[in-house]
Structure 1
Amino acid sequence: MLAGEEGVGRLDFDNPNLAFFVGNLALAIILLDGGMRTKISTFRVALWPSLSLATLGVVMTTAAVGSFAAWLLNVDLIYGLLLGAIVGSTDAAAVFNLLRNSGVRLNERVGGTLEIESGANDPMAILLVVMLTGLLQSSEQVSVWGFLGQIGLQFAIGGFLGWLGGRCALLLLQRIPLVEGLYALLIVSCGLAIFSGVNMLGGSGFLAVYLVGVILGNGKIKQHDSISQAMDGLAWLAQAGMFLLLGLLVTPSDLLAYGWQAVLIALFLIFIARPVAILVCLLPFDFRWPERFYISWVGLRGAVPIVLALYPVIAGLSNSNLLFEITFTVVLISLLLQGSTVPLMARWLKVVVPPVPEPTTRFSLTESDAFHPSLELYEFLVQADGIRIPSAIINNVPSVSVDTPQLVALVRNQHPTVVTAETELMTGDRVWMLLHPNDVNDVALAFAQKGTASFLMQNFFGEFSVHGDASLLVLAQTYGVDSQDIDDQETAADLLKRQLGRQVVVGDRVRFGKLRLTIRQMDGADITVVGIKLQS
Structure 2
Amino acid sequence: MINEILQSNQTIFLTALLLISSVLVTKFSSRLGVPSLVLFIIVGMVVGSDGLNFIYFDNAGMAQLVGTFALIVILFEGGLETKWDTIRPVVRPALSLATVGVVITSGIVGVASKFIFDVTWLEGFLFGSIVGSTDAAAVFAVLKGKNVHSRLEATLEAESGSNDPMAVFLTLAFIQLINSPGQGVLAIIGSFFWQMGFGLVVGLLIGKIGSMAINRINLDSGGLYPIFALSFALLTYGVSSLTQASGLLAVYVAALVIGNSELTYRHSILRFNEGFTWMMQILMFVILGLLVFPSQLFQWDIIIEGLLISIVLILVARPIAVYLSLMGGPFGQKERLFLSWAGLRGAVPIVLAIYPSLAELENSQLFFNVVFFVVLTSTLIQGSTITPLARKLKLVSDDVLNPIHSLELISIGKTNVEMIEYTVTDNNTIKEQTLEELHFPDGVLVNAIIRDGDILTPYGQTSILPGDTLYIMVPKKNKRQLQKILNDELVKTKI
Larger mean CA deviation between 46-55 and 333-342 belongs to: 46-55
Please tell me whether the aligned partners of residues 104 and 346 of structure 1 are also in contact (alpha carbons under 8 angstroms): no
Query: TM-score scaled to structure 2, two decimals?
Result: 0.80
Cα deviation for residue 432 of structure 1 reads 2.9
Please state if 1:157 is matched with 2:198.
yes
**Per-residue CA distance 1:307-366 (angstroms, 9 max, x = gap):** 00011001111110000000000000111111111211112222233233526854489x
| 1:439/1:261 CA distance change after superposition, 3 Å | same
Of 60, 67, 71, the match for 2:104: 60
Please state if 1:168 is matched with 2:209.
yes
Please state if 1:189 is matched with 2:228.
no
Structure 1 unaligned regions, length at least 5: 366-373, 446-520, 522-527, 532-536
SS in structure 2 at match of 1:206: helix
Instruction: Determine the structure 2 residue equivalent to 1:116.
Output: 158
Cα deviation for residue 85 of structure 1 reads 0.5
| 1:409/1:43 CA distance change after superposition, 3 Å | closer
Please tell me whether the aligned partners of residues 424 and 465 of structure 2 are also in contact (alpha carbons under 8 angstroms): no
The letter for the 1-side match of 2:74 is I
| 1:160/1:395 CA distance change after superposition, 3 Å | closer
Instruction: Determine the structure 2 residue equivalent to 1:409.
Output: 448
Instruction: Determine the structure 1 residue equivalent to 2:272.
Output: 230
Cα deviation for residue 107 of structure 1 reads 2.7
Query: TM-score scaled to structure 1, two decimals?
Result: 0.75
d(CA) in 2 for partners of 1:60 and 1:266? Answer: 16
Please tell me whether the aligned partners of residues 404 and 483 of structure 2 are also in contact (alpha carbons under 8 angstroms): no
Of 44, 52, 74, the match for 1:8: 52
d(CA) in 2 for partners of 1:426 and 1:389? Answer: 6
d(CA) in 2 for partners of 1:350 and 1:106? Answer: 9
Of 135, 148, 151, the match for 1:105: 148
The letter for the 2-side match of 1:440 is L
Instruction: Determine the structure 2 residue equivalent to 1:301.
Output: 345
SS in structure 2 at match of 1:338: helix
Cα deviation for residue 284 of structure 1 reads 3.0
The letter for the 1-side match of 2:421 is Y
The CA RMSD measured in Å over matched residues stands at: 2.9
For residues 391-410 of structure 1, the aligned pairs below 5 Å read: 391=434, 393-394=435-436, 400=442, 407-410=446-449
Please state if 1:21 is matched with 2:65.
yes
* Structure with greater strand percent: 1
Of 173, 180, 204, the match for 2:222: 180
d(CA) in 1 for partners of 2:457 and 2:243? Answer: 62
| 1:346/1:129 CA distance change after superposition, 3 Å | same
The letter for the 1-side match of 2:239 is G
| 1:46/1:389 CA distance change after superposition, 3 Å | closer
The letter for the 1-side match of 2:232 is C
Cα deviation for residue 256 of structure 1 reads 2.1
d(CA) in 2 for partners of 1:286 and 1:426? Answer: 37
Sequence identity, in percent? 37
Please state if 1:320 is matched with 2:364.
yes
| 1:253/1:174 CA distance change after superposition, 3 Å | same
d(CA) in 2 for partners of 1:352 and 1:269? Answer: 25
For residues 211-250 of structure 1, the aligned pairs below 5 Å read: 211-250=253-292
**Per-residue CA distance 1:62-121 (angstroms, 9 max, x = gap):** 1100111111122222221111100000111111121114x223232x222211111111
**Per-residue CA distance 1:382-432 (angstroms, 9 max, x = gap):** 899xx98534x2488986455xxx533234687654456776788986443
The letter for the 1-side match of 2:378 is S
Instruction: Determine the structure 2 residue equivalent to 1:440.
Output: 486
Please tell me whether the aligned partners of residues 69 and 80 of structure 1 are also in contact (alpha carbons under 8 angstroms): yes
| 1:360/1:198 CA distance change after superposition, 3 Å | closer
SS in structure 2 at match of 1:309: helix
| 1:255/1:172 CA distance change after superposition, 3 Å | same
d(CA) in 1 for partners of 2:461 and 2:216? Answer: 46
Please tell me whether the aligned partners of residues 167 and 215 of structure 1 are also in contact (alpha carbons under 8 angstroms): yes
SS in structure 2 at match of 1:2: helix
Instruction: Determine the structure 2 residue equivalent to 1:333.
Output: 377
Which is bigger in relative contact order (C-alpha 8 A, separation at least 6)?
A: 2
d(CA) in 2 for partners of 1:219 and 1:361? Answer: 14
d(CA) in 1 for partners of 2:403 and 2:259? Answer: 18
* Structure with greater helix percent: 2
Please tell me whether the aligned partners of residues 105 and 354 of structure 1 are also in contact (alpha carbons under 8 angstroms): no
Please state if 1:87 is matched with 2:131.
yes
SS in structure 1 at match of 2:84: coil
Structure 2 unaligned regions, length at least 5: 1-44, 410-416, 475-481
